[in-house]
Amino acid sequence: MFDKISSKLTSFFKDSDFLREFKLITGEVLKISIKGLQEHKTRTFLTMLGIIFGVASVISMLAIGEGARRKTLSQIQALGLNNIIVQQIDESDSFNNNITLNYQDIRGINKVVPTVRNAVPIIQEELEVNYAKRFEDAEVIGTEPTYFTIMSMNLEKGGFFSNYDNKVRNRVCILGHDLLISLFGADEPIGNKIRINNVWFTVIGTLEYQPVSVAGNTEVNLNKRVFIPIKTMESRLDRDPKKSELDQVILQVTSSEFVTTTSNFVDQILFRRHNEEKNYKLIVPEQLLKQSEETQRIFNIVMGAIAGISLLVGGIGIMNIMLASILERTKEIGLRRSLGATKLDIRNQFLVEAIIISLGGGIVGIAIGYVLTWGVTAFSDWETVVSLWSVFLSVGVSSIVGILFGFFPAKKAAELDPIEALRYE
């Protein structure tokens, strides 16, 4: 089978009339084509414009799309692709039936669902945080030490609080990256105390910068948060008794292949435990990622189609201007034919001109595309990524456009009658 395919390909490259014509493109034809373009610089530049803007739009649009894809990926990965987030909602309705997200839910899930490796409770409050004369409103998170592991959070300085700190309700805290800068600036945070809602806490650790993520419709910025043991938060900081026992539970699944089935199972358990009241919501980062990838794929197709139309318009421009050029150079074509140039020489001359215009426009378009992506990043704070494949794609497409749209005018030029061409005025 392979030998048969190989022999057919060899035969094609050996016998193809189309490829044979390209082999006959000599240095003299190339020299004549370049000279013809140089003699009409304005026309050449105007012909290039369609390709230049087409390629630039392909580069910049694909760069914007790739930047958006990577940003979304980092945001969702920050939530943990093996995690399931359970959030309490509609508390006012829930308290009518005395059902809220609670520790019993965690024990029930751990008992029934074997694919849940860890279940971490979370309480969160928006409170005032103070150091020296600096005040900040920050999200205070009460949780357990396992939270930092399942959220893949790394320390910049110091250490995490322990299960012992949680058990004995120690007043210790860990600061997010942005909150650290707002409160301490250049001061040393480790060992210093901050005041949270008039209660003093010792800073024992600071976190590295974490990508801003999105859970459902809510932005999650861990860099502006302060983390304390959950038992400490329950006993040391006043909490509205009307609020649910827990605000959130993060479940870590043993493997990504079980995430979807586990989320469905957890949903059924909580629905029954909460008296068939949907007063919670489940956020599954893996499903968010799949939805985002599908949306991004459609987005890239649309942007690629728009950019492709630009290249198509550029190709039509090449064809139209070259057809006009042929009329203008009819006498030149007749003179060359009378001096011995063949139809193939004339065809190759105009075809090479179209290819040079396309390649030249493609190279300039790539440069402009890079400048446009830099401008988007610099002035709109939107991440852009120019991938190597998009550059090759642009060059390849611009070359194909030159060949396809240049072939018809070149063929028409070659078929002009030499005698009629010499008489043309």
Residues 46 and 126 in one domain: no
Nearest to 173 by CA among 181, 161, 163: 161
Question: What is the reported pTM?
Answer: 0.62
Distance from the first to the final alpha carbon of the chain: 59
Q: Is the predicted pLDDT of residue 65 greater than 70, yes or no?
A: yes
Quote the pLDDT of residue 203.
94
Residues 391 and 307 in one domain: yes
Residues 333 and 390 in one domain: yes
| 235 within a domain of the structure (yes/no) | yes
Q: Can you tell me the distance from the alpha carbon of 120 to that of 248, in angstroms, rounded to the nearest whole number? A: 8
Least confident among 19-23, 305-309, 398-402: 19-23
Q: Can you tell me the distance from the alpha carbon of 128 to that of 125, in angstroms, rounded to the nearest whole number? A: 10
| 387 within a domain of the structure (yes/no) | yes
Give the pLDDT confidence of 87-98 residue by residue, as tens digits.
888 655 444 556
* Residue with tokens 């980062």, as numbered in its chain: 285
Q: Is the predicted pLDDT of residue 16 greater than 90, yes or no?
A: no
| 80 within a domain of the structure (yes/no) | no
| 102 within a domain of the structure (yes/no) | yes
Quote the pLDDT of residue 146.
92
| 9 within a domain of the structure (yes/no) | no
Q: Is the predicted pLDDT of residue 168 greater than 90, yes or no?
A: yes
- Give the pair of three-digit tokens for residue 308: 């492709």
Mark which of 278, 313, 346 sits at the end of a domain.
278
How many structural domains is the chain composed of? 2
Residues 268 and 141 in one domain: yes
Residues 355 and 404 in one domain: yes
Residues 250 and 353 in one domain: no
Quote the pLDDT of residue 214.
62
Least confident among 58-72, 146-160, 311-325: 311-325
- Give the pair of three-digit tokens for residue 66: 């790739």
For strands 280-283 and 248-253, give the pairing: unpaired
Mark which of 278, 309, 331 sits at the end of a domain.
278
Residues 385 and 327 in one domain: yes
Residues 165 and 254 in one domain: yes
| 82 within a domain of the structure (yes/no) | no
Give the pLDDT confidence of 265-319 residue by residue, as tens digits.
888 988 888 888 888 888 887 766 676 667 777 777 777 677 677 677 777 777 7
Q: Residue 166's pLDDT band (boundaries 50, 70, 90)? A: very high
| 133 within a domain of the structure (yes/no) | yes
Q: Is the predicted pLDDT of residue 3 greater than 50, yes or no?
A: no
Percent of the chain residues past pLDDT 70, beyond the cut: 80
Q: Is the predicted pLDDT of residue 331 greater than 90, yes or no?
A: no
Residues 353 and 399 in one domain: yes
Select the more confidently predicted residue: 299 or 361.
361
Tell me, letter by letter, the H, E, C secondary structure of the chain. CHHHHHHHHHHHHHHCHHHHHHHCCCHHHHHHHHHHHHCCHHHHHHHHHHHHHHHHHHHHHHHHHHHHHHHHHHHHHCCCCCEEEEEECCHHHHCCCCCCCCHHHHHHHHHHCCCEEEEEEEEEEEEEEEECCEEEEEEEEEECCHHHHHCCCCEEEECCCCHHHHHCCCCEEEECHHHHHHHHCCCCCCCCEEEECCEEEEEEEEECCCCCEEECCEEECHHHEEEEEHHHHHHHCCCCCCCCCCCEEEEEECCHHHHHHHHHHHHHHHHHHCCCCCCEEEECHHHHHHHHHHHHHHHHHHHHHHHHHHHHHHHHHHHHHHHHHHHHCHHHHHHHHHCCCCHHHHHHHHHHHHHHHHHHHHHHHHHHHHHHHHHHHHHHCCCCCCCHHHHHHHHHHHHHHHHHHHHHHHHHHHCCCHHHHHHCC
Select the more confidently predicted residue: 7 or 115.
115
Q: Is the predicted pLDDT of residue 15 greater than 50, yes or no?
A: no
Quote the pLDDT of residue 222.
85
Query: CA of 378: how far to CAs of 323, 371, 372, 373, in Å?
Result: 42, 10, 10, 9
Give the pLDDT confidence of 183-239 residue by residue, as tens digits.
988 889 999 999 998 899 999 999 998 877 665 556 678 888 999 999 999 988 877
Average of per-residue pLDDT across 33-38:
71
User: What is the extent of the structural domain holding 398?
Assistant: 19-74+291-423
Quote the pLDDT of residue 60.
83
Average of per-residue pLDDT across 361-371:
86
Average of per-residue pLDDT across 336-344:
74
Q: Can you tell me the distance from the alpha carbon of 309 to that of 367, in angstroms, rounded to the nearest whole number? A: 20
Residues 114 and 235 in one domain: yes
Residues 105 and 203 in one domain: yes
| 12 within a domain of the structure (yes/no) | no
- Give the pair of three-digit tokens for residue 417: 């009658």
Quote the pLDDT of residue 238.
78
Q: Can you tell me the distance from the alpha carbon of 408 to that of 227, in angstroms, rounded to the nearest whole number? A: 70
Q: Is the predicted pLDDT of residue 8 greater than 60, yes or no?
A: no
Select the more confidently predicted residue: 258 or 158.
158
Residues 57 and 97 in one domain: no
Quote the pLDDT of residue 97.
54
Q: Can you tell me the distance from the alpha carbon of 176 to that of 161, in angstroms, rounded to the nearest whole number? A: 14
Select the more confidently predicted residue: 32 or 89.
89
Q: Residue 161's pLDDT band (boundaries 50, 70, 90)? A: very high
Mark which of 278, 313, 331 sits at the end of a domain.
278
Cβ 193 vs Cβ 129: under 8 Å:
no
Most confident of 11-20, 201-210, 255-264: 201-210
